[in-house]
Structure formats: structure tokens, C-alpha cells
Amino acid sequence: MGLFRSLLVGYKNHKTISERLRKELPGLKGFSESSLKNMRMFYEEWSPVLESSDTISSISPIMIGEIETTSLLSAKSTITIDDLELFCNLSFTHHIRILNGEKDIVKRWKYIKLSLDNKWDSRYLQQQIKDNVADKYGAMPSNFSVTIRDSRDAIKTLNMFKDEYILDFINTEEIGIRDMADIDERVVEKEIIHNIKKFIMTFGRDFAFVGNQYHLEAYSEDFFPDLLFFNRELNCLVVVELKTGNFKPGYLAQLMTYLRILDD
């Protein structure tokens, strides 16, 4: 870091540095004037955050009640090993998109995680930042503090799921619908079942499909969750309920009912 600082902070003329590097090292790529400016910005924006971290530790000591399902990366005084792994796995181009488009440190961490989890390319990431999608990923209700006592198991569970799934195998034009928002839930379900292998690959590892409209009977009533999966790693059933439009509290109550029945 010290050498990098002396090269980029000590010299104000990025063009001169670029020309000298190319002259002394013919064939060298990646050190254009604009690239050097981006390197300097990357260093100046992130070095205070990384160097001021209290400690680098494992993530397991985090208190279970403090875990957010949408982001394990919040405003940090401690940079964890998991954080650094996420940070280093993101391409430099992605980092520059984030630094140019978002000034808030918490949202920057969110975009790092969202980009990796959802495999966003840099252009799509840029549009997501422009649309300020980070604000849409607030903390959801969680009963982990009651049901999962071991924080390591909770982290593993959270990491098993993504905040967003791209179902690009559902071709809306072929089924006569122009706007994805107008698709009926049954249409989505039908397309998922038809492409179940692709959906499982999108959904994540270790998932096995149990059935759709799976019949459950309890309280003298019949219930039919949209999709039911089994996760081998977590050794548990996973219910997926398909909804269109904005989230409603009743959806969560419906899911909790299904989970109580399955637990019994």
C-alpha cells in the first residue's frame, strides 16, 4: 500500500505516469491515464475503511439478534474475514461502478454483496445503483434468535439464500405477456415446474424438488404451498410461495402457517 500511495498520491499528473510506465515497460496494459485515476480513487476511498478496522476476525462471534437477512455487511467498525473475501472476489470494474455511483459506505457494502450473490455484470450493477435498489433490501422479520441458537448455523442458513433471483428462463414474450409485473403467479409456477432443473440451479446448491401445490392437511383444512423443496445441507424443508406486487404482511403469516404444519 505504501508504494502504491507514493506512486499515485505523490504524482498529480496521471498522464505522465502512464506514459512513463508504457515507455519503460513496452506492452504493459491496464495502466492508462483513466485506469490510474480509478486506482487512485479506489485506494483513497477504501484504504481509510480497511486500515481503520478494529480487527480482522471470523464472523461467528456476531450476536444472532444482530443478523440482517438482507445483508451481513452493515456499517462496520470491524472488517471480518468474510467481508474481505467478498471484497476481493468483486472485479475492479464493479468496484469502480460502485465508487462512482454510491457515496454511502453501508450501501457500497450492500452493492458488493448483491453483485456477487446475483452475478450482476457491471452495466447492470450501474443501473441498479442508479435505481437505488439498495434501499429496497431492508431487514425482514426473523425468528433465528429462537430457532437457531448457533450463530454459525444461522450464517450458513442466510448464505444459502439470495436476496434476488433472476428467472431469465421465463420468456414473457412466448407466453404473451409484455410486462413481467403483470404475470399471474400460476404462470410463473408453471414455467418454474417446466424448467425445474434450471430453477434449482438458480435457486442454489443442495436443493431437491419435492413438489408444487403440495397438499398439507391441518386444523381440519387443506393447504397447498406453491413450491416445496428439501435442502440437503441444512436438512430441512423449504417453502416457496409465489406472489406478484408489493409485499403484504399476510404473505408472511401464510408462510408461517405452512412452516408450523411442516414442523409438526
In the chain, the percentage of residues whose pLDDT exceeds 70 is 57
Mean pLDDT of 187-193: 69
Tell me, what's the pLDDT at 71? 38
- Report pLDDT digits (tens) over 123-155: 888 888 988 888 766 544 455 555 555 555 655
End-to-end CA distance of the chain: 56
Helix (H) or strand (E) holding 221: strand 221-223
pTM of structure: 0.42
Tell me, what's the pLDDT at 41? 87
Going by C-alpha positions, the residue among 31, 30, 37, 34 that lies closest to residue 12 is 37
Q: How far apart are CA 20 and CA 11, in angstroms?
A: 12
pLDDT tier for residue 184 given thresholds of 50, 70 and 90: low
Question: Residue 153 to residues 50, 82, 111, 160, 199: CA-CA distances in angstroms?
Answer: 27, 15, 24, 11, 25
Mean pLDDT of the chain: 70
Q: Which are the contacts of 202, defined by CB distance < 8 A and separation ≥ 6?
A: 165, 166, 167, 169
- Report pLDDT digits (tens) over 13-48: 777 777 777 777 777 777 777 888 888 888 888 887
pLDDT tier for residue 170 given thresholds of 50, 70 and 90: very low
- Report pLDDT digits (tens) over 58-88: 333 343 334 343 333 334 445 565 677 788 8
- Report pLDDT digits (tens) over 198-239: 666 666 778 888 888 889 988 788 889 988 888 888 788 888
* pLDDT of 240 strictly over 70: yes
For 143, what's the count of Cα atoms within 13 Å in the CB-facing half-sphere?
7
Tell me, what's the pLDDT at 96? 93
Q: Which are the contacts of 89, defined by CB distance < 8 A and separation ≥ 6?
A: 116
Least confident piece of the model among 7-11, 105-109, 225-229, 259-263: 7-11
- Does residue 121 or residue 193 have the better pLDDT? 121
